[in-house]
Structure 1
Amino acid sequence: MIIFEVLLYAFIVIVSVQLVFYGFIFGKFAATKQNNVSNSHQPVSVIICAKNEAKNLKKNLPFILSQSYPTFEVVLINDSSCDKTLKVMEAFKKDNEHIKIVNVQPIEKFWGNKKYALTLGIKAAKYNTLLFTDADCKPMSKHWITEMSARFDPEKTLVLGYGPYQKIKGSLLNLLIRFETFMTAVQYFSYTNIGLPYMAVGRNLAYRKELFFEANGFMNHMNIKSGDDDLFVNQTATSKNTIICISKSSFTESIPKKTFKSWLLQKRRHISTASHYKLNHKILLSLFYCSQFLFWALAIIIISFSYKWELVLGLIFLRFIIQYTTLYSASAKLDEKSLILYTPILEFLLVLIQFFIFMQNLSSKPKHWK
């Protein structure tokens, strides 16, 4: 039948697109080695913006304050919290001269806008090198500051790090969260490697203070309440000024969401922010997702009707071989090998969830910050 012939040719095109992504774009990152760099031990300002994070600060601040680094300060931003966040900050400050507190009072113009609070924290920072993380994150080694700051040089003023989520045994939600985080990292590291940096995560990101002011801070997207990390990087990152850091000593670990509802809301915010990326970035990201969606949809349809199933199975097998090879190498770099065995199941579920989120965002806008 003509309809199945058309579907088969479409499937061949889709598989080819997927092979380009996994074999070449992501494959280049999978083959990348983290170069050793010298460290001048430049002074660093670690910046943490917290809103109602008293418990997480108590738990995670000691890991930051115990970093093995000669000169650094920790700028704690209390973004109009209504719990004991400020008291926790003040308690730590009594015993740590490294700490500086910025207590942000709510104002009508920037109500609930994390970017306003971050701007005040950045202005208060003593040093030119800024390293960002979140209150619910902890460095996975005492060399986090060392590794991230070592990537800077006179040309590189923006460093993209990795922030995996904590592993929880026996949880499908946790597997999904970690797989989605891993795949997102593979993409933004890969695009940076080919000279198209487009985003980063604020739980492990560093840049020069001068870059922030040269870009006029967050003013170009201050009206968008999310995107203090990815929209800023999308605006300022270039092939010349951006570098990745994939040393395992540079990772920060975050606490994952505990319910599907809270995670879906988080992902809705992230996906809605992506609509403000530069056009070429949106095209690449859309092409990858659409090719994923169509790969599964067409494979299921054609196989269901047993149309030239030997050829179709061969294409599916080829695609999975390239995908597994690339993702296994990437997972070794990002310490996520435990995810690879479940790749087909997690990918299929994630494609469906992302489609659901896209449809939800068409009808309503998600809330932002806290």
Structure 2
Amino acid sequence: MELFTIDTILPAASGILFITQAIYHLGLYNKLYIHNKETVYTTDVNTENPPLSVIIVAKDAADELQENLPFILEQDYPEFEVIVIYDRSADDCDDTLKLLEDKYPNLYHTFIPDSARYISHKKLGITMGIKASRHEWLVFTEPNCRPQSNQWLKQMARNFTPATEIVLGYSNYEKVPGWLNKKITFDTLLNSMRYLGMALSGHPYMGTGRNLAYRKTLYYKQKGFASHLNLQRGEDDLFINETAHAHNTRVETGSDSLMRIAMPKYKKIWCEEKISYAATSRLFKGTARYIMGFETCSRLLFYAAIIATIIIGILLHQWTTLGIAILLWAARFVMQLIVFRKTAKTLGERKFCALLPVFDFLQPIWNGVFKLQRKLRRKNEFMRK
């Protein structure tokens, strides 16, 4: 009797892959829920609310600024300034900002000169904002983002301890009807569970400029974006990848700290963001990208092993083998559903439920397509212009 036959190897492989997936879901993806449930801010947290500067770089965003800036300018915070640097464009950003400045004395704006060439305007704008800022703590967001509470800055600031240099916040798209919205909110939630979960595990590897804070001295110590100045993007994820470590990074995901992103007008806008991320994420230093890549591979292999085991079980009338495969898939789905539902609830997201297995299977595929599109494009498309 042969011990290593296909009807024994496949169930064994499925079991090993199930254990691997369980480690990721219970040990990493569950971190955000545990953090929100158990976090107690002790006396080492600076409760003095130090003055801070909010920096926003805008392009063709007059309507978005008019709609979202008041929610930032009206934060319940003792002392802060908001600095908007806009890329000269066809819309009336300047007029919009001047009108807002008449109402809000803590709002300041300037523009990226037309003469700026061969440099990323986003990075140049952030650099201009940092140099113009008056305070040590810098908070970053974007024109299409709206804080969900007037306590946003206070919740970010409660992490400003003497040892902290970086605070990673949570952001996701607004919830509206439609398949595309469900797709991108799931993708953003999963990616957040990854990079914020890794940060909570003591291994931060990236951040997003939609809800992010760091010290001005950290920016100058790192010489700004000098190490990736040749790239069009990377002002947030690559910068955090280079500077974040277990002892200088904190995560803020309280209900009042959440940031909502306006839905893009066209699917292509979101696709271009994903392709740009694919161009910068391959440059991440450390093991995090490989750890996340291994999760994706083990997930796809799990599905492949389960499907193959079910087929073999049916063809060979191995009902025990078939039952093992179904039981493993069901156990993983229940585990995943519990983790996602609890995390989504604390972050005000959809629970997904019936769509969870669909998106769980498709997410690695569409991200693979984005990586392929990145490879097929010319290298200079991702370089500074």
Coarse TM-score class (shorter-chain normalised): over 0.9
Q: Which residue of 2 aligns with 1:273?
A: 280
Aligned equivalent of 2:60, options 28, 52, 58: 52
* 1:116 equivalent in structure 2: 124
Deviations along 1:104-137, whole A, 9 cap, x unmatched?
1144554443112111111111111101110011
| CA distance in 1 between partners of 2:211 and 2:76 (Å) | 17
Separation in structure 2 between the aligned mates of residue 82 and residue 119 of structure 1, nearest angstrom: 23
Residue among 287, 294, 306 paired with 1:287: 294
3-state DSSP of counterpart to 1:103: strand
Q: Could you say which residue in structure 1 is the equivalent of 2:248?
A: 241
Matched, 1:228 2:231: no
8 Å Cα contact 1:272-1:361 kept in structure 2:
yes
Mark the runs of 5 or more structure 2 residues left unpaired by the alignment. 315-320
* Cross-structure match for 1:83: 91
- Deviation (angstroms), 1:312: 1.1
Q: Indicate how the Cα distance of structure 1 residues 231 and 340 shifts in structure 2: closer, same or farther if over 3 A, else same.
A: farther
Structure 1 residue 321, shift from structure 2 partner = 2.2
Question: Which of residues 73, 79, 82 is equivalent to 2:81?
Answer: 73
Deviation at 1:34, TM superposition (A): 3.2
The structure with the largest alpha-carbon Rg is 2
Indicate the residue corresponding to 1:13 in structure 2: 16
Q: How does 1:32-51 map to 2 (within 5 A)?
A: 32=35, 33-36=38-41, 39-51=47-59
- How far does the alpha carbon of each residue in 1:55-101 deviate from its partner, in whole angstroms, 9 at most, with x for none? 10111111111111110100001123332112212221233210121
Q: Structure 1 residue 348 and structure 2 residue 361: aligned? A: yes
Distance 2:339 2:361 in 1: 18
Alignment partner, residue 330 of structure 2: 317
- Deviation readout 1:187-230 (Å, 9 max, x if unpaired): 11210111100111111000111111111111111112111111
2:374: which partner in 1?
Answer: 361
Aligned ranges 1:156-195 → 2 under 5 Å? 156-169=164-177, 171-195=178-202
Aligned match of 1:31: 34
The match for 2:311 among 304, 313, 317 is 304
| TM-score, length basis structure 2 | 0.90
The letter of the residue matching 1:163 is: S
Give the C-alpha shift of residue 276 in structure 1: 0.8
Equivalence for 2:25: 22
Residue 205 in structure 1 maps to residue 212 in structure 2:
yes
User: Structure 1 residues 273 and 195, CA, compared in 2 at 3 Å: closer, same or farther?
Assistant: same
CA distance in 2, matches of 1:58, 1:289: 40
Assess if the C-alpha contact under 8 Å between 2:53 and 2:139 holds in 1.
yes
2:157 corresponds to: 149
Identity %: 30
